[in-house]
Amino acid sequence: MLRVRPPSSAVRLLDERDRGAVLAICDRDPVTNVFVSSRVRALGLEPGRLGAQMWGHGPGGRLESLCYSGANLVPVAATPDAVVALREKLVPLALVVTPNLPEAAALVDAPQAATEDEMVRQAERLLASGAKAVLMKGGHGKGAQSADLLVTATATVRFAAARIATGNTHGTGCTLAAAIAAGLAKGEDLSAAVRAAKDYVTAAIAAADHLGVGHGRGPVHHFHRWW
């Protein structure tokens, strides 16, 4: 009798936060021993939430895709060792990495890309590190459009949307990465998954001002299709 194991997930890091800042991080025991198993198969993984201690082992070679987001890779990735571990241990396992412009600059140790040509060149350096594809996110750029570039060994595909004037952009990177992973899990090809995720996040940002939740930088409106 064939038994199919249901999808699994692992809690690698716990953080305490509000909309203004990450207040505390727990990335050591008991999280390490209780929640993380080398047998877990991960479809979507956010390296900014892994923490420095486990990068390069733990999840191991079981990763199928890597969805990478977060404004500053969370504080641990500001350290040189964490950046090197991410670039050398996790990026080579990735189906797709999704850095914003500051993240990409940190990963390739270069100034932040100011043009789309520079975005492509930095993406190519990440491809050389072993990633199968790189989605360079243009949200930190300038201009009327926010352009994301999906770069592979054979093509570059541009996904652009009008830049939206709002302060409520909390969670955009995490939402985009999760939406891409969901599309891949449904069997979509990478380009289609990125397009659907980009459209979803753009609409969620456009509707964010309708929420009026709390204070500070507000979240995107994940449920904009229903209310």
138 catalytic per annotation: no
pTM: 0.73
174 catalytic per annotation: yes
137 catalytic per annotation: yes
Separation between Cα atoms, residue 192 and residue 144, nearest integer Å = 24
The DSSP line for 97-138 is: B--BHHHHHHHHTSPPP-SHHHHHHHHHHHHHTT-S-EEEB-
154 catalytic per annotation: no
Residues whose CB falls within 8 Å of the CB of residue 34, separated by 6 or more in sequence, listed in order: none
Instruction: Flag whether pLDDT at 2 surpasses 60.
Output: no
Separation between Cα atoms, residue 91 and residue 97, nearest integer Å = 7
Q: Which of 174, 198, 202, 218 is catalytic?
A: 174
Query: pLDDT tens for residues 199-211?
Result: 999 999 999 988 8
Q: How confident is the model at residue 183 (pLDDT cuts 50, 70, 90)?
A: very high
Q: Which of 44, 48, 172, 202 is catalytic?
A: 172
Are the C-beta atoms of 219 and 213 separated by less than 8 Å? yes
Check whether the bond before 30 is cis (ω within 30° of 0).
Answer: yes
183 catalytic per annotation: no
Q: Which of 67, 141, 169, 218 is catalytic?
A: 169
Separation between Cα atoms, residue 50 and residue 14, nearest integer Å = 9
| Average predicted confidence (pLDDT) for the chain | 76
pLDDT (0 to 100) of residue 170: 87
